[in-house]
Amino acid sequence: MTLQRSASTLRRGIVLALATLTTSVALAQQFPDKPIRLVVPFAPGGGTDMIARTIGLGMSKELGQSVVIENKPGAGTIIGTETVAKSPADGYTVVIATFAHAVNPSMMPKLPFDTEKAFAPVILIGKGPNVLVVRADSPYKTVKDVVDAARANPGKLTYASQGNGTSAHLAGEMFDNLAKVKTSHIPYRGAGPALTDLQGGQVNMMFGTAAGVSSLVDSGKLRAIAVTGAQRSPVFKDLPTVGETVPGYAVESWYGLYVPAGTPADVIHKLNAAAKKAVATDDFRKKVEQEGLVISAGAPAELDSYVRGEEARWRKIVKENNITSN
């Protein structure tokens, strides 16, 4: 009798597994048959928002369905990212992840999701430097000017960011640590509000993403002082690196797409293929390459490997420098 029950239980398990597999295959084959949500964990108006809207437009053409941008800012990207982590694993909810995705686990140990287990990678869109910017009429014209002012008035110089744990935040923290100065971090719910206050004089400077600040620099509303990469940018040819004044300094931004863990591989493949075609369009390249973004657009494993490396690198830096999310 026990053997019979065991055999019956095994058969039911096999039937259930086959049914689940059949359903997953069927869903993947008809994907997508409705609009896709692309969650941006920042307020509208910044570089991440621009990149999401541009790639979303290209992907919608390839997939035959609308890619609807949904801005969910707050908590250093956690609010928007959590929305995707807890969404159905069907490919219809995607998040555009940035630097904060790799840093939050070491800065915020009590996240409402497990970053390594909650998501499946789709594609690494690209990487690029941040740019240290000030108001056009600011007295600070070089990195040395900023260092001197910060040393003369500890804690008085302020820098904006698009949220705790973002590249603009950690770029400022690393600047303080390596330059041996003290500035004050002012976090916002996105690059748009941060840049508005920078222009209005409410804050002194920002280590903004290239995509977010380029148009304001070109229009003369902001002055670019330096780039945060390890080497000079071919796009910002006249700008030195921060590291030329502050030895050892190097920070870069990145953008990638993730879906909830458990999303069928065929669905991820379709999203990856659509994103690859979207970033290969003239419209996308014109908007991002002139702003310093180096396009990657490889297989999902490329994003996974890169972000794991970034997470390990920044975990060490955060621990050594006692950097917090405050």
The ranges assigned to domains in the chain are: 33-128+253-321, 129-251
- The whole-number average pLDDT for the span 300-325 is 88
The domains spanning 33-128+253-321 and 129-251 adopt the same CATH topology: yes
Over 90: is that where the pLDDT of 9 sits?
Answer: no
Q: What is the pLDDT of residue 293?
A: 84
Q: What is the pLDDT of residue 292?
A: 77
> Please, what is the average pLDDT of the chain?
90
- For residue 185, the SS3 value is strand
- The whole-number average pLDDT for the span 15-26 is 52
CATH topology classification for 33-128+253-321: D-Maltodextrin-Binding Protein; domain 2 (3.40.190)
Amino acid sitting at position 298: G
- CATH node for 129-251: 3.40.190.10
pLDDT tens-digit readout, 154-186: 999 999 998 888 889 999 999 999 999 999 999
Local confidence band at 130 (pLDDT 50, 70, 90 cut-offs): very high
pLDDT tens-digit readout, 182-226: 999 999 988 899 999 999 999 999 999 888 898 899 999 999 999
- The whole-number average pLDDT for the span 18-31 is 60
CA distances from 151 to 12, 154, 183 (A): 71, 6, 9
Q: What is the pLDDT of residue 254?
A: 93
How many whole angstroms separate alpha carbon 130 and alpha carbon 208? 5
Local confidence band at 311 (pLDDT 50, 70, 90 cut-offs): very high
Are the beta carbons of 77 and 22 closer than 8 angstroms?
Answer: no
pLDDT tens-digit readout, 40-75: 999 898 889 999 999 999 999 999 999 999 999 988
Query: 239-277: b or e for each residue (b if 16 or more CB lie within 10 Å)?
Result: bebbbebbeebbbbbbbbbbbbeebbeebbebbbebbbb
CA distances from 218 to 90, 120, 133, 224, 270 (A): 41, 37, 12, 9, 37
